[in-house]
Structure 1
Amino acid sequence: MPPSPRLRHLCFALAAIGLAFAATPAAAQADRCPKLVAQAPARIIPAAFRPDVPGQSPLFPLVAGVPKEVTLNYIGHSTFLIETAGGVTVATDYNDYVRPDVVPRVATMNRAHSTHYSLSPDPGIEHVLKGWSDTPGQPVRHDLEVGDLWIGNLPTNTRDWEGGTVRNGNSIFVFRAADLCIAHLGHLHHLLTEDDVAALGRIDIVLAPVDGSYTLDVDGMIEVLKALESPLVIPMHYFNEATLNAFLNRLGAREFAVMRDTDPTLVVSRESLPGKPTVIVLPQR
């Protein structure tokens, strides 16, 4: 389904912001975003699949007539429905309380609370990716290609109810399509190390929990966002306007532009990414 004219206007508005500011250092990083992928066995790509398109990743060739864009639908809490130009759908932090209207091809889950995972995912989901390992304390690793989408993860720690540390209890899931790299921070409880940031590589869009209590505190989350240097941030996991505004009010106006939208659906392309880090607040469905 093509995006509405209003959504295309929003993309053009974001592009205008990008022209008004110098590009961030992240924009100059390698074309292939997550360095996690470099640890996987090398893939042999036939020469026929290497189109001569500037900036085009050979693993994700441009399909004739298919626009290079990704659609983000904010369903609520920590759940987004991500849809690629090739029609692959992903539901993030898939759970039994907040679900999209369609059955996604892929579902990712984290287990901090029951609103971030499901014990009975829809049987029509082709790939259910858990952000934790069945072996306590051990990291889980995902490296999955579905159509024009690649999915990987970076394990992180969580807190238990007594304040202790659950090692590798959460994952930051990274989605790549249309030359865009999207990171869903999940139920992040701690700052990222330099190694974490290096492993994630170039992240274009961050889906960030901003409640400031159950996950990372507001100052800590802003520190993470500054470290990632991503052009676009979309807040999630906020429970009311007060928690959302507490996050927005702490942002430095010189460092982050802030936009509010009235539609939970956003269509993004690499060309529409802003040059200055920008926070776009999408309403929950």
Structure 2
Amino acid sequence: MSRFPLTLSALAVGLATALAAPAALAQEQTRKPSHCIAIADAAPGLSYVQTASFGAPLEDFTVRLSYIAHASFLIEGPEGFTAVTDYTGFLGNTSFFPDVVTMNNAHSTHWTANPDPRIPHVLPGWNTSGPNPVEHYLDLGEVLVRNVPTDVRSGFGTVSAPLGNSIFVFEIAGLCIGHLGHLHHEPNDMQYAALGRLDVVMAPVDGGYTVPQDVMISILRRLRSSVIVPMHWFGDFTLQSFLTGMASEFRVEYRDTNFLEVSLRTLPSEPTVVVLRPAWLRDDDL
């Protein structure tokens, strides 16, 4: 049975999302607990293999990450779940639409005011109706999507929108996958704690529009994720500068394609930066 683009019918029943302020205590007690926060030690294993492009069937307990462009990734789960991060409204020459999109509003290249109306769950990383931070806790069974709000800062370093953007975490197939978004500052201790364990992290490494590269390297050292995928790098010079800064403590691996498959099996021998080349989605890849 084809999972693209008709992947939504199996998810249509029982879908719910938390889109506003923190839920009441009684509601919180019904939530599926976050295993990424509850289990702070290292995962039992993670392997990555490159076998197929977007839309192809996945093995059990395997997730595919496809780097689309800039800060947008397609996340595919083994049971058919799909999500796009920092969704701008354009994915390429494709009729595909995902189950979930996340967005951040620091720049127009990270969101759209007109998302495809077929997308069931659109999760902005800021509160579109007021000054309070937004809280997402979307439990779709196969995946839990949640956010950790962070500040939007001006070019002068001042806070222009407190907790106005988000780091999104996808808990799927036993993995904890984090997308740091348009991060403007190092998370504080409470934010690190809210993130929990991140097995895979997608990190902006431009060093200018987001945090300086030395700050990003410090963040990634603290997270100590098994796999780091650089994004938001504006050219090979910027990317190579980041990789040079990471090379003393992290293995660096280059891929010729835009995707990576991960599963909880065997961890890399050391934390690894996996460099993917972005590519738009195309229906003829299916």
Cα offset, 1:100, TM superposition: 7.8
Q: 2:29 aligns with which of 41, 54, 62?
A: 41
Q: What is residue 107 of structure 1 aligned with on the other side?
A: 101
Q: What is residue 224 of structure 1 aligned with on the other side?
A: 219
Cα offset, 1:192, TM superposition: 1.5
- TM-score normalised per structure 1: 0.76
User: Whole-Å Cα distance in 1 between the matches of residues 237 and 107 of structure 2?
Assistant: 22
Q: What is residue 88 of structure 2 aligned with on the other side?
A: 95
Q: What is residue 191 of structure 1 aligned with on the other side?
A: 186
Report if the CA contact (8 A) 1:207-1:236 is conserved.
yes
Report if the CA contact (8 A) 2:179-2:203 is conserved.
yes
Q: Once the two structures are superposed, what CA deviation does each residue of 1:24-50 show, in whole Å capped at 9, x if it has no partner?
A: xxxxxxxxxxxx99x8324489xxxxx
User: Whole-Å Cα distance in 1 between the matches of residues 139 and 164 of structure 2?
Assistant: 23
SS at match of 2:265: helix
Cα offset, 1:136, TM superposition: 5.0
User: Whole-Å Cα distance in 2 between the matches of residues 162 and 189 of structure 1?
Assistant: 11
**Alignment RMSD:** 2.5
Q: 1:252 to 1:174 in 2, by over 3 A?
A: same
User: Whole-Å Cα distance in 1 between the matches of residues 128 and 259 of structure 2?
Assistant: 34
Cα offset, 1:96, TM superposition: 3.5
**1:3-18 correspondence to structure 2 within 5 Å:** none
Q: 2:232 aligns with which of 222, 234, 237?
A: 237
Report if the CA contact (8 A) 2:32-2:139 is conserved.
no
| Counterpart AA for 1:93 | D
| Counterpart AA for 2:67 | Y
User: Whole-Å Cα distance in 2 between the matches of residues 112 and 44 of structure 1?
Assistant: 30
Cα offset, 1:233, TM superposition: 0.3
Q: What is residue 244 of structure 2 aligned with on the other side?
A: 249
Report if the CA contact (8 A) 1:108-1:129 is conserved.
yes
Q: What is residue 4 of structure 1 aligned with on the other side?
A: none
User: Whole-Å Cα distance in 2 between the matches of residues 261 and 100 of structure 1?
Assistant: 23
SS at match of 1:271: coil
- Structure 2 stretches lacking a partner, 5+ long: 2-21, 34-43, 45-57, 280-286
Cα offset, 1:177, TM superposition: 0.6
Identical columns (%): 45
Number of positions where the alignment pairs a residue of Structure 1 with one of Structure 2:
232
- TM-score normalised per structure 2: 0.75
2:184 counterpart of 1:180: no
Report if the CA contact (8 A) 1:91-1:100 is conserved.
no
Q: 1:137 to 1:100 in 2, by over 3 A?
A: farther
**1:1-285 correspondence to structure 2 within 5 Å:** 40-43=28-31, 67-96=60-89, 101=94, 102-160=96-154, 163-165=157-159, 166-253=161-248, 255-285=249-279
SS at match of 2:182: coil
Q: Once the two structures are superposed, what CA deviation does each residue of 1:240-277 show, in whole Å capped at 9, x if it has no partner?
A: 00110110111142x10000000111110011432411
Report if the CA contact (8 A) 1:189-1:216 is conserved.
yes
Report if the CA contact (8 A) 1:190-1:216 is conserved.
yes
Q: What is residue 27 of structure 1 aligned with on the other side?
A: none
Cα offset, 1:135, TM superposition: 4.6
Cα offset, 1:227, TM superposition: 1.1
- Structure 1 stretches lacking a partner, 5+ long: 2-35, 46-54, 56-64
Report if the CA contact (8 A) 1:79-1:99 is conserved.
no
Q: Once the two structures are superposed, what CA deviation does each residue of 1:131-160 show, in whole Å capped at 9, x if it has no partner?
A: 001255421100001241110000000113
Report if the CA contact (8 A) 1:72-1:266 is conserved.
yes
